[in-house]
Amino acid sequence: MWKNKGLFLVISFFFTFVIFASFDIPSVYATTKVVKNGDYKMTIAYDDDQLKDVVSRYETTFKRTYPPMADAYNPKKARKEFFVKFEKNKDYPIAYTLGNTIYIHPDYAKNNPDDQGMLVHEMCHILQAYPNGVKVPSWFVEGFADYARYRYSNLDNWRFPKVDKNQKYTDSYRVTARFFMWINHIKSPGSILKIHQRVQNNYYSDNLFEEYTGKTLDELWQEYQQKPGPVESLDWKIADNKARYNGETGVGTWVKYMEFFYIPGKQNYIHTRSNNATEGNVSYKIVDASTGKEVHAYTTSTLKQDSISSIEPLGKDSGEPAEGKYILYVQIPKGMNIDFEFNHGNKFY
């Protein structure tokens, strides 16, 4: 839909929208917090003390997420500064993005403090920055933002829906995001990012899918419906930052997962999510790569299906190790299936 002097408006049934434009919006908030990470800055304005904890979480999410997303999705023209404000809007009870400002409903923020993926989704809209005149459909915009959420947000209970014959690629959000994961990482690696870049260069057409994959959108969707692929089991790494391992089934013994280089002072965490009915305790140990000596060891509480465990394995409180190369080993109970995410190198000041 076209609104107000050619601004492109994207609206969805999940109550978020984004307008790719830039505005100066006067501040009427009692408290303003400026958060920086490298060249990037986020300014959060709020007037409710009950939001302090949420604001602190948003600060962490911004520092962990915005710089690597900027490198991936808009490396040359990413916004260096954006704003977050809390606004009650009956039409948008979760969040929306307008130019360089993210508006979040304060009631949703207070009632859902663990939903950091929502902020990642909205920050992706900041980085998409599609030109006002490009006629890109809302399902692409929102599907790409949820694709980014899956890739860059912390591991939590947000999941893709199961694929079924009643879905359409135009359903947007998670449905489209999973389709994009399948295209970009199984069917035709890198093609979704190429289409995204073409949109940033002021051009969109459904024909771009055929140009970059060799098949039309409808042909891709038909193939996807028949063979949706193991999207939920795909692993990935962000160099010198973090790794996500999905769909790991335990054998009951220690398994070597990754080597990494650690610099003291880096923010770090391990999140673990149980995927099936087999309950158990997952153990992690970090070993010095040069000496073979165990540096730290941790065991989660008993995890039930869909439960989450979070630890900070290399923090000062647990005896931060010296700079050097280390190895992560994991022991998963036999038959238990988990996802886990290890962040070992995010700059967090």
Nearest in space to 187 (alpha carbons), one of 146, 226, 239, 139: 226
Per-residue pLDDT of the chain (349 residues; tens, 9 = 90+): 222 333 333 333 334 445 554 444 444 567 999 999 999 999 999 999 999 999 999 999 999 999 999 999 999 999 999 999 999 999 999 999 999 999 999 999 999 999 999 999 999 999 999 999 999 999 999 999 999 999 999 999 999 999 999 999 999 999 999 999 999 999 999 999 999 999 999 999 999 999 999 999 999 999 999 999 999 999 999 887 889 999 999 999 999 999 999 888 777 899 999 999 999 999 999 999 999 999 999 999 999 999 999 988 887 666 788 899 999 999 999 999 999 999 988 764 3
Q: What's the pLDDT at 320?
A: 82
Residue 28, pLDDT score: 55
Order of all β-strands in the sheet with 236-238: 236-238, 242-249, 337-346, 267-274, 308-311
Q: Which domains does the chain have, with CATH numbers?
A: 1-231 (1.10.390.10), 235-346 (2.60.120.380)
In single-letter form, the type of residue at position 158 comes to W
Which residues, including other chains, have CB under 8 Å from residue 188's CB and lie 6 or more apart?
A: 212, 213, 214
SS3 56: helix
Q: Which of 150, 277, 280, 169 is nearest to 228 (CA)?
A: 169
Task: Tell me the whole-structure pTM to 2 decimals.
Answer: 0.89
Q: Integer distance in angstroms from the first to the last C-alpha of the chain?
A: 42
Is 77 strand, coil or helix? coil
String of DSSP letters for 5-34: TTEEEEE-TTS-EEE----------SEEEE
Buried b (16+ CB within 10 A) or exposed e, 18-41: bbbbeeeeeeeeeeeeebebeebb
DSSP-assigned letter for residue 185? I
Which DSSP category does 163 fall into? P
User: How many other C-beta atoms can be found within 10 angstroms of the C-beta atom of residue 42?
Assistant: 24
- Which two three-digit tokens encode residue 191? 């093609």
- Would you state the pLDDT for residue 22? 45
Count H helices and E strands in the chain, helices first.
8, 17
Instruction: Give backbone dihedrals phi and psi of 187, rounded to 5 degrees, phi first.
Output: -75, -50
pLDDT at position 347: 60
Give me the pLDDT at residue 1, please: 22
